[in-house]
């Protein structure tokens, strides 16, 4: 009996997607940037509003916002004397699609593993159910 799992032969990403995924994962790797993104899910916010809960200097906050902006997760614009940031959905949608594709692949692998284990150990389920009844 062969236990090897088939390797996916279809491309897992579309053209241009890996760069966007890398930028998105890198941007979300930092706790402070994730906090900013979470805050922006409630709507646009000024840099000062984003900085308020964070214990860091304004230049550090601006560096984090720049990382989010370069990743495409956040767009910022100056309105008078205030810089307003808003979340851009595109990178998160790309990330969500990538996760869904990989979840489906792994679910198929685990389903197949379950089938193989049932073939190799056919009485295990019946034995365990019998033990529970006793």
Q: Give the H or E element holding residue 76.
A: strand 74-79
Among 33, 118, 111, smallest CA distance to 70 is for 33
How many CA within 13 A on the CB side of residue 50?
A: 33
Q: For each of the chain's 134 residues, which pLDDT tens digit applies?
A: 444 444 444 444 555 555 889 999 999 999 999 999 999 999 999 999 999 999 999 999 999 999 999 999 999 999 999 999 999 999 999 999 999 999 989 999 999 999 999 999 987 655 566 565 55
Each domain of the chain, given as residue ranges in start order, spans: 17-88, 91-133
pLDDT at 6: 47
Strand, helix or coil at 81? coil
* pLDDT of 14: 53
How high is the pLDDT of residue 9?
42
| Domain range 17-88, CATH architecture | Orthogonal Bundle (1.10)
> How far is Cα 97 from Cα 21, in angstroms, rounded to an integer?
10
């Amino acid at each position: 009996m062969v236990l090897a799992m088939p390797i996916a032969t279809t491309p897992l990403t579309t053209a241009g997607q890996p760069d966007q995924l890398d930028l998105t994962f890198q941007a979300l790797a930092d706790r402070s940037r994730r906090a900013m993104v979470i805050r922006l899910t409630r709507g646009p916010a000024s840099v000062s509003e984003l900085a308020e809960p964070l214990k860091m200097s304004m230049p550090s906050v601006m560096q984090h916002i720049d990382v989010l902006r370069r990743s495409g997760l956040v767009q910022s614009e100056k309105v008078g004397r205030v810089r307003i940031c808003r979340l851009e959905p595109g990178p998160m949608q790309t990330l969500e699609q990538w996760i869904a594709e990989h979840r489906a692949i792994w679910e198929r692998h685990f389903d197949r593993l379950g089938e193989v284990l049932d073939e190799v150990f056919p009485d295990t389920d019946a034995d365990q159910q019998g033990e529970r009844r006793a």
